[in-house]
A and B are shown apart, each in its own frame.
Chain A
């Protein structure tokens, strides 16, 4: 009996390639950080690395020269969304650590595997995504949204 070998179709190659690229892109997902000064000027930082270690959020700028450390507490759940309150923010940059006094803010975390709707909002958080908003005593607004690049206990 003659064995018949079927060549793999080009569509299959394309599908494998597309899957690989999509996987790489997802693994490189980064966050966006907006810093709006009291005078209205806005700095937008993209490609920010977001790491959650315990209840501390670490944001590293794309050029790896600045790190924002955000200490959270009073974490509780609203459905599957974890809501925490930031209470310390430190900017680690140029070999120095500067404390930034915050007035109020909230950090929402979706560590589940499905998208979750924020409480009293139409906004949805994708899986493993954070949304953090806080205001400093000097009137600076900071908004952070993006996928978690790393979660450590």
Chain B
């Protein structure tokens, strides 16, 4: 065999490896194991455990979710926690969720001074032009961090705003780095602190979410409403 022919054969063999792997995947596209397996990479590589912990689950076709009953997604409790009544189990199963609800007890009262974001973001400019929609099952729509309300731990709780008149509690949570909320704080040079003490900057975000920060030269103490499209805040009138 000449040198050039050998190189041709070698190249064809190397090049055909991914195709062979694909064919193998197609022939056996569903693998069950006892537990602990994980995917590595997006190229169809699959690792399976050596010692199954449970019998392999069976599936005739499609996807198998044997433990999942036909239930609607469960909306979490609202960030507003009325203290005068105890919610009945399941009473909020299908409650409408509106990510545009904001302002807490001061809803509709934010007609004061607009403190424009120093970065001067355009509409959704902070989000690379991509429209940001609140995800209704997450507190604050994930604006301050991807926190599911039912997955919250005490460590994330960062004080609260109590509305004694309406007997409602608006819990506040620690902002996660790299969240839109973190971008907002950085733009205004604000530092988050626990809600509760007086003379703080109180910012009401999507879905009645609230965070607090120390005042600075740009933002004085008081209540503010956030415009998530431009990361701009408006003070309460």
Cα–Cα distance between A67 and B130 once the two chains are bound (Å): 26
Q: Which residue of A lies closest to B41 (CB)?
A: A145
> Told that A85-B146, A99-B73 touch, could you supply 17 new A-B pairs with CB distance under 8 A?
A14-B7, A17-B15, A19-B15, A25-B19, A30-B22, A33-B63, A43-B32, A44-B32, A44-B37, A44-B39, A44-B48, A46-B46, A47-B29, A61-B29, A85-B142, A99-B70, A103-B151
Q: CB-CB contacts of A129-146 with B at 8 A, as 1s and 0s? A: 100000011111001011
Q: Is A35 part of the binding interface, using a Cβ–Cβ cutoff of 8 Å?
A: yes
Main secondary structure of the interface of A (DSSP, over half): strand
Query: Which chain A residue lies CB-closest to B5?
Result: A10
Minimal beta-carbon separation of B63 from chain A (angstroms): 4
Determine how close the nearest CB of chain B comes to the CB of A68; give it in whole angstroms.
Answer: 6
Q: Name the interface residues of A79-108: CB closer than 8 Å to any CB of B.
A: 82-89, 91, 93-94, 98-104, 106
Residues on A with C-beta less than 8 A from B33 are 41-42, 44
**Of B71, B127, B134, B146, which is within 8 A of A101 by CB?**
B71
Contact in complex: B42, A146 (CB < 8 Å): yes
Interface string of B9-50 (1 = CB under 8 A from A): 001101110110010011001111111111101111110110
Q: How far is the CA of A143 from the CA of B40 in the complex (A)?
A: 11
B26 touches A47 (CB 8 A): yes
B17 to chain A, nearest CB (A): 9
Residues on A with C-beta less than 8 A from B48 are 42, 44
Quick one: given A44-B46, A76-B142, A103-B151, are A21 and B18 in contact (CB under 8 Å)?
Answer: yes
Give the B-binding residues of A (Cβ under 8 A).
Answer: 9-11, 13-15, 17-19, 21-22, 24-25, 28-47, 55, 59, 61-63, 65-68, 72-78, 82-89, 91, 93-94, 98-104, 106, 119-120, 126, 129, 136-140, 143, 145-147
Complex: how many Å from CA A36 to CA B56? Answer: 11
Contact of B11 among A18, A40, A93, A120 (CB under 8 A): A18
**Is there contact, CB below 8 Å, between A34 and B38?**
yes
Residues of B within 8 A of A63 (CB): 29-30, 61-62
Q: Are A140 and B146 in contact (CB under 8 A)?
A: no
B34 touching A42, Cβ below 8 Å: yes
Q: Are B59 and A43 in contact (CB under 8 A)?
A: yes
29 contacts across the A-B interface (CB closer than 8 A):
A10-B7, A19-B15, A21-B19, A34-B37, A38-B67, A39-B35, A39-B67, A40-B35, A41-B53, A42-B57, A43-B31, A44-B33, A45-B29, A46-B31, A46-B46, A61-B30, A75-B132, A75-B133, A76-B132, A85-B141, A87-B138, A100-B65, A100-B68, A100-B73, A102-B137, A104-B148, A104-B151, A137-B74, A138-B67
Known: A75-B133, A98-B68, A99-B71. A15 touches B150 (CB 8 A): no
Q: For the complex, what is the distance from the CA of A105 to the CA of B181, rounded to whole Å?
A: 19
A143 partner residues in chain B, CB cutoff 8 A: 38-39
A55 to B180, CA, bound (A): 18
Query: Are A68 and B63 interface neighbours, CB within 8 A?
Result: yes
The answer to whether B141 touches A18 (Cβ under 8 A) is: no
Chain A residue with minimal CB distance to B71? A101
Instruction: Evaluate whether A66 and B62 lie within 8 angstroms (CB atoms) in the complex, with A32-B46, A47-B25, A55-B133 already known.
Output: yes
User: How far apart are B119's CB and chain A's nearest CB, in angstroms?
Assistant: 14
**A138–B61 touching, CB < 8 Å:** no
